[in-house]
Structure 1
Amino acid sequence: MELYQRTIHDLHDMLKNGDTSSTALTQSVLSRIQGVDGKIGAYLTVMGEYALEQAAAADKTIKEGKAGSPLLGIPVAIKDNMCTTGMKTTCASKILESFVPPYDATVVARLRQAGSVFVGKTNMDEFAMGSSTEN
């Protein structure tokens, strides 16, 4: 079973026990995105380099024995209508194509605090008004 196919619970245990690293897990997820996203268009933005930096920081925290959160080192994707400091948030709209919010949405801030690894921003209908993921 590939790393990207495992549950968060399994991955947390594997990270905690040293059976894998957040870097390896993140690379697995990024490879999967690269392999299938051209066909399905799930991501508007993929943040590979940023994700690998976050993963390395998580690996360091885990190695130091400070792994408190079950989400530490776990790759996540953020829907493109959630504000993310320093990352484009477009709501899948051309009118917001260069908007970079100065703050995080509460859910994003909590994921950051937990040590999650942000791999990208996911596609959606423009302004989340619909169900077909067309924009």
Structure 2
Amino acid sequence: MTDLHRLSIRELSEGLAEAKFSSRELTEHYLKRIEKIDAQVQSYVTVTPEQALAQADAADAAIKTGNASALTGVPIAHKDIFCTQGIKTTAGSKML
């Protein structure tokens, strides 16, 4: 499963639903990939691994109990424009 990052969102969702991998495994894969290549591509302002893994564990629990939507457990990254308590937000601006 070294190429999880090459799967489509649909394939990720199906893989989670079919228990081919867990959200934690998927999240750990993406975190390792970020750690490996982000210094070169500089695509992240802030990475929150502890929060991501906690959310992955919650997603895995929801999937196991049948209380999950199609995207539950699929990791996402979003632009640095959303204010989140306790997490640096810059919106790509030096002013912030």
TM-score, with length taken from structure 1: 0.66
**In structure 1, what is the equivalent of residue 30 of structure 2?**
29
The CA RMSD measured in Å over matched residues stands at: 1.3
Shift of 1:4: 1.4
**In structure 1, what is the equivalent of residue 94 of structure 2?**
94
Q: Mind listing any 5+ residue stretches in structure 2 that lack a counterpart? A: none
Within a 5 Å distance, the mapping from 1:7-22 to structure 2 comes to: 7-22=8-23
Within a 5 Å distance, the mapping from 1:19-98 to structure 2 comes to: 19-67=20-68, 69-96=69-96
Considering fraction of residues, name the structure with more strand.
Answer: 1
Larger radius of gyration: 1
Q: Mind listing any 5+ residue stretches in structure 1 that lack a counterpart? A: 97-135
**In structure 2, what is the equivalent of residue 5 of structure 1?**
6
Cα separation, 1, equivalents of 2:10 and 2:84: 25
What secondary structure does 2:88 align onto? coil
- The one-letter amino acid of 2:40's match is K
How many percent identity over aligned positions?
Answer: 45
Render the CA deviation track for 1:76-121: whole Å, top value 9, x for unaligned: 111012333442211122332xxxxxxxxxxxxxxxxxxxxxxxxx
Cα separation, 2, equivalents of 1:6 and 1:62: 19
Cα separation, 1, equivalents of 2:81 and 2:94: 13
Cα separation, 1, equivalents of 2:72 and 2:86: 21
What secondary structure does 1:71 align onto? coil
- The one-letter amino acid of 1:43's match is Y
TM-score, with length taken from structure 2: 0.90
Cα separation, 2, equivalents of 1:58 and 1:86: 22
Shift of 1:47: 0.7
